[in-house]
Structure 1
């Protein structure tokens, strides 16, 4: 008689622009349960190549987390049955023809002025409107395509190959080179309707002699964890590595069912970045979508039509400048929780909010320009950030509904912002729609769900989200609009 198979658990490596984590997920009885086994910081570092990420340190932290996942599995009598990796979008490294990785990996926070690259691309006959029509991604300084075009103006490529951040992790874990549609679609080099990289667009960006990676499906097997790494993390048996939705936004929305017309749920990923929109069967690459600031990214299934906003990065940077720890952060959020809404808000997508440093001063300048001079207190800054994000969220939901033709009947907020009661409540009040907030660690949960789908343990990624403890979500009902009103005086 064959020995009984140990219960399976999956390790999600979820890399964010301010922190990374390794989360262990497993089905226990009818429910799926998740445990963060390791969390580590991530921040931009100043290098000879400009603003960059310390990718080698982050990978070492990943292995520490995977070792803890193995130990946790052993203690519970479970088997580590998979590893998946997701990360923020647009950033990359280059793999030289001899296999060496060019480090450090530069950060989008140091993105150059895109105007010269856009102008150079235009000389090849590809306008901004034409690039959007192909990719569904508008011109932005952070775009992979424009930053690579800038680099192409300073060097000659000779067979270097593009790897996005999750692709680099999978290469280091298995030795296999490739990418998936979700992370590739953040690049402005991926044809939205064709679902493949666009060779004409690559040429228009001056990427001759440059190799784009092969594209493999979401929820597919990459290969086995390299033996030396398996030994390093203490795994007694072979560990499969899966290609999940490499872009963390797509992983967070892995539960979303693309809907054409009819009633649908608007989606907000509220983290360092905020993305507002919804899931559709097909891209929307019209001039109106471009004018409204929307981007088309591949989801775990279908397309995510999203407006990209600077998100909690503003608050994170202010807290860092203030040297504020968790206790002071929580005290500031509690102080503004019941403060009246002030409609004199600033544009959270303002380009000057992109870079690190001096965030409080920039927020104060934007508020002053909006006719909202702030008091000296830190709470006044926090108040303005949350009010402004809520206004941007409601406006984004409305714009998504107009573009898609869908009737939005509810908003789902996932990510760190789902814990912010004021932000969720104001979004419900301003959008005049109920809000379901949570789960917070949606990217890691989606990562696990797609591994379980790839392994055959579940039939749909949505099955995992549906089997999470309801305590991970909160409801904010509309109508409840008495606090969503203009304030006569500056708050705090």
Structure 2
């Protein structure tokens, strides 16, 4: 709800999402997610008489669905953590140089990217790819089911690593070189595009009396989150904190020089003609997977319990690079942490408390690496770190990030992605004039918490130590 000055978010329906292992493959259950979306709309219809001003969908990036000529789904989409991309990055960059790919796309080299997923399918002559008529990224799939329109929203398309950097055009020449079909690629549209009204049959199913417009927000969840960062300016960096931590700054032009390539930074599409110069960092995934393992073992910790445990463990004893391949999809995350530390001649985090502390302290140290790299890339000092997303509720990590990076951390809003989604819809509907006014509205709508850095020489020594271990130097 918008009262002319501030937004008030109300949660109607929250539903889980996670990959599902079918022998040989890791899938997403998009049909269950589709039911969750419809249930959320139905709950609005049951509780409110006012017509909806709009519906917008955002999700994670890189993953996609394939449709046949009749618009039918060709199987459940595969999760980016599936093993089919193992070795594909190296094979692709053996055929087309990193320099050539980066110059065209400006995107960080990660084996999870859509480019390597599609290449693995083309290489294996996957029958789904051969039968496909259209590729839709995950939010675009739901938009298609909502409206009947097939299109690729710009911010999410930029995560594929085959969209032209800073341009709403596919890098078809790159895909041609790799033998990946380009006939399946839809048009690219800007965030804020009105896709059309909700399909009548969907409106009837969820018992909406009026068919609202479906508006493409910044459909990549991080792009929506960054749109809702209050106070974001040239002297501040953002961390969109969740399973992944996206650490970056907002720029007006992409940075695609040799230094950006060497540091493996990415230039993803943003709102209002901006670029999100950032680095994808494995975020709270390490701790989430530890918690999942401990729950299965009969130790079901709550999040606050985990943070209390961390404070009981010795500081900076065991450190890991969160982005090491060891942690992409291990069957047992606590064991993966211990093995990494043994291999690098460190004390292994044997207790649950030590594993939590290792995960969080290592993440704060990785943030410092990325923030300092951004300063070198852009030539502008970072004076404040603004943390948004669910991870901003982790007050211990916020404080350790401030201490480790030597900069204040401003935390909030936790629901930045939902707010950013709504903001782009509001701009498209003419309720707000621009992104500047939208961010002012966010600042008026939420409470922010500030964490001041505390002097601690131990963080400097730990940073030097992990830099040597992980090869950051």
Correspondences of 1:127-276 after superposition (within 5 Å)? 127-155=97-125, 157=130, 160-208=133-181, 210-255=183-228, 263-276=234-247
- Give 1:180 deviation, angstroms: 1.4
Residues 88, 119 of structure 2: 8 Å contact kept:
no
- Structure-2 change in CA distance of 1:167 and 1:204 (3 Å): same
Q: How many residues align?
A: 455
Of 99, 102, 106, which residue of structure 1 is paired with 2:74? 102
Q: Does residue 35 of the first structure (1) align with residue 7 of the second (2)?
A: no
Correspondences of 1:18-417 after superposition (within 5 Å)? 26-28=1-3, 30-47=5-22, 50-74=25-49, 78-116=50-88, 118-119=90-91, 122-123=94-95, 126-155=96-125, 157=130, 160-208=133-181, 210-255=183-228, 263-301=234-272, 302-323=274-295, 328-337=302-311, 341-342=315-316, 344-355=318-329, 357-417=331-391
Residues 235, 384 of structure 2: 8 Å contact kept:
yes
Q: Quick one: distance in 2 between partners of 1:35 and 1:93?
A: 30
Deviations 1:122-163 (A, max 9, x none): 44xx21221011101133211111110110122263662210
- Structure-2 change in CA distance of 1:463 and 1:234 (3 Å): farther
Other structure's SS at 2:420 match: helix
- Give 1:312 deviation, angstroms: 0.6
Q: Quick one: distance in 1 between partners of 2:315 and 2:44?
A: 44
CA RMSD of aligned residues (A): 2.4
Other structure's SS at 1:109 match: coil
Other structure's SS at 2:84 match: coil
Q: Quick one: distance in 1 between partners of 2:313 and 2:93?
A: 48
Q: Quick one: distance in 1 between partners of 2:336 and 2:88?
A: 26
Deviations 1:444-482 (A, max 9, x none): 110011011111111123434423456532101235547
Q: Quick one: distance in 2 between partners of 1:144 and 1:439?
A: 29
- Give 1:369 deviation, angstroms: 3.4
- Structure-2 change in CA distance of 1:250 and 1:471 (3 Å): closer
Judge which range, 250-259 or 419-428, deviates more: 250-259
Q: Quick one: distance in 1 between partners of 2:312 and 2:385?
A: 22
Judge which range, 145-154 or 316-325, deviates more: 316-325
- Structure-2 change in CA distance of 1:62 and 1:190 (3 Å): same
- Give 1:109 deviation, angstroms: 0.9
Judge which range, 295-304 or 447-456, deviates more: 295-304
Which stretches in structure 2 are left out of the alignment for 5+ residues?
A: 463-473
TM norm structure 2: 0.90
Which stretches in structure 1 are left out of the alignment for 5+ residues?
A: 1-25, 488-492
Q: Quick one: distance in 1 between partners of 2:4 and 2:325?
A: 48
Residues 104, 164 of structure 2: 8 Å contact kept:
yes
Judge which range, 374-383 or 232-241, deviates more: 374-383
- Structure-2 change in CA distance of 1:319 and 1:344 (3 Å): closer
Q: Quick one: distance in 2 between partners of 1:338 and 1:432?
A: 23
Partner of 1:20: none
- Structure-2 change in CA distance of 1:288 and 1:94 (3 Å): same
Residues 157, 207 of structure 1: 8 Å contact kept:
no
Residues 266, 277 of structure 2: 8 Å contact kept:
yes
Of 410, 421, 428, which residue of structure 1 is paired with 2:402? 428
Other structure's SS at 2:209 match: coil
Deviations 1:97-140 (A, max 9, x none): 222111210000104245356535644xx212210111011332
Other structure's SS at 1:253 match: helix
